[in-house]
Amino acid sequence: MRSTSSENSIYIPEEILINILLRLPVKSLVRFMCVFKSWNDLIGSSSFIGRHVSYVKNLNHAFLVGLRCTEGKPKIRRSIFFNETFKARCLDMGGLRLRGSSNGLLCLSSNSPDLNSPVIICNPSIMKYVRLPVTNLSCPPKFEYRCVLAFGFNPGLNDYKVVRLVTTYLQHYIEMEVYSLSTHSWKSIGVLPPWIISMNWSSGHAVSNGVAYWIMQAKKDFSFHLVSFDTGSEVFEKVLLPEAIWDNTLQYYGFNHIHAYKESVCLLLQSGRDDHIDIWVLQEKCLHKLHTVWFPGTSPVPLGFKTNDELLLEYRKNDRRYLAIFNLQTKQINETRVRLPGHCYLDNHADTYVASLLLLKDIRAQELRGISIVFPLCRGRN
């Protein structure tokens, strides 16, 4: 590749240029698309965008923490806390709620979604989004129902999926459909195992390695199960939750206990004594207690994992709320001294975030409006 200057022409081998560009921030890459047409073609190509995702997803991800701010007009904000400095940027999400984050894409919907609520997949780094088409499902007649969304990446299919689960409170009724970003369409899951039809969604949602998870309760004996759905094979499975964690599940009904953890999922459970957090990991179709995080006298609340064994949690000290990080490898707690504003409340669930170029050249993507990025954001220290 040569510069456009005929007098001082410089040749840069394409592979070297790619290796340089992969290490640059997303905003710089977008600007560099205006330098040369060849750079525009290169950076906007599906092969480069794919290589960029593969590169950045192996970096140390940031935490994406939800804050509900009550001062003035109520807003839902997501703060992106960076790893080394723990300084933050804030996404003002215009009243939308995060349903999942994967490789720089966020899935958003209304705070209390129903089948008529809009759902979007957006990339805030390049301010583009795709609005999902209308559902294939019909509203359950005469019954009050729950609508649960889960979003994530299926590496086997190289595709991003949204799974919509619909259950009713009292009747044996359940429906499911899966959205594919590659085809921009919903697919109804017509054949469901009989055992899942007799269950209610209880709490949580997560997608890990292309598999969606929920905690569901059997209507017959009120037992709790971790139910999974593989978005590739479309196979359902269930794992009975150990009785040791049933009380926690009942105590925090509706709380999102499930979090992606490495290639699987884990359950993060608060103790009734308000002094520790139990971590249960799904391994070989069984839940095993991995670790207990002790944080005496602080009422710790688990929020979520990053990819490198770091657990983000909220704790109380002198009637103030702070964020801390617990490292499972070193067993050390890093009190970040980031204090949460008194007028904001956490969503009790943290995702991870990394900037990417996904949706950059997607012809269906539109300019993102109604979601703003503010500097600095939701940051407090003392």
What mean pLDDT, rounded, does the chain reach? 83
Q: What is the pLDDT of residues 353-369, one digit of tens each?
A: 999 999 999 999 998 87
Q: Which two tokens stand for residue 327?
A: 């490292």
How many angstroms separate the CA atoms of 154 and 157, rounded?
Answer: 6
Q: How many residues does the chain have?
A: 382
Which three-class secondary structure state does DSSP give residue 321?
Answer: strand
The backbone torsions φ and ψ at residue 208, rounded to the nearest 5 degrees and listed phi first, read -140, 125
Q: Check residue 381 and report its DSSP letter.
A: B
Q: What pLDDT, in 10s, does the model give residues 297-315?
A: 788 888 888 877 889 888 8
Interatomic CA distance for residues 32 and 42, integer angstroms: 10
Strands laid side by side in the 159-168 sheet: 145-154, 159-168, 174-180, 185-188
Q: Give the contacts of 121 (CB within 8 A, at least 6 positions apart).
A: 105, 106, 107, 108, 129, 130, 132, 151, 160, 162, 181, 359
CA 215 – CA 237 distance, rounded (Å): 12
Of 135, 266, 256, the closest CA to residue 204 belongs to 256
Instruction: Kindly give, in sequence order, each residue whose CB lies less than 8 Å from that of residue 200, ignoring residues fewer than 6 positions away.
Output: 167, 169, 216, 217, 219
pTM metric for this prediction: 0.88
CB atoms within 10 A of CB 82: 14
β-pair type (145-154, 128-131): unpaired
Q: Please state the rounded mean pLDDT for residues 8-23.
A: 86
Catalogue the E-assigned strands of 37-173: 62-69, 75-81, 88-92, 97-102, 105-109, 119-123, 128-131, 145-154, 159-168
Continuous H helices in the chain: 14-22, 26-32, 37-43, 46-56, 194-197, 246-251
Amino acid at 201: W
| Alpha carbons 35 and 170: distance in angstroms, whole number | 60
Picking from 158, 117, 156, the residue whose alpha carbon sits closest to that of residue 139 is 117
CA 112/CA 162 separation, integer angstroms: 17
Q: Which domains are delineated in the chain? A: 44-374 (2.120.10.80)
- What span, in angstroms and rounded, lies between the C-alpha atoms of 215 and 287? 13
Which structure tokens are listed for 71? 């001062």
Give the pair of three-digit tokens for residue 116.
Answer: 């008529």
C-alpha 247 chain-centroid distance: 26
pLDDT in tens, 190-221: 889 999 988 888 888 999 999 999 999 888 88
Give residue 252's pLDDT band: very low, low, confident or very high (50, 70, 90).
very low
- Tell me: cis bond preceding 376? Omega within 30 of 0 counts: yes
pLDDT: is 185 or 3 the higher one? 185
Whether the CA torsion 214, 219, 225, 227 is positive or negative: it is negative
Helix (H, G, I), strand (E, B) or coil at 106: strand
pLDDT-based confidence at residue 57 (cuts at 50, 70, 90)? confident
Tokens of 281: 């990991």
What percent of the chain is modeled with pLDDT above 70? 83
**pLDDT confidence of 4, banded at 50, 70, 90?**
very low
374/90 Cα distance (integer angstroms):
6
Q: What angle do CA 266, 325, 151 make, to 5 degrees?
A: 40
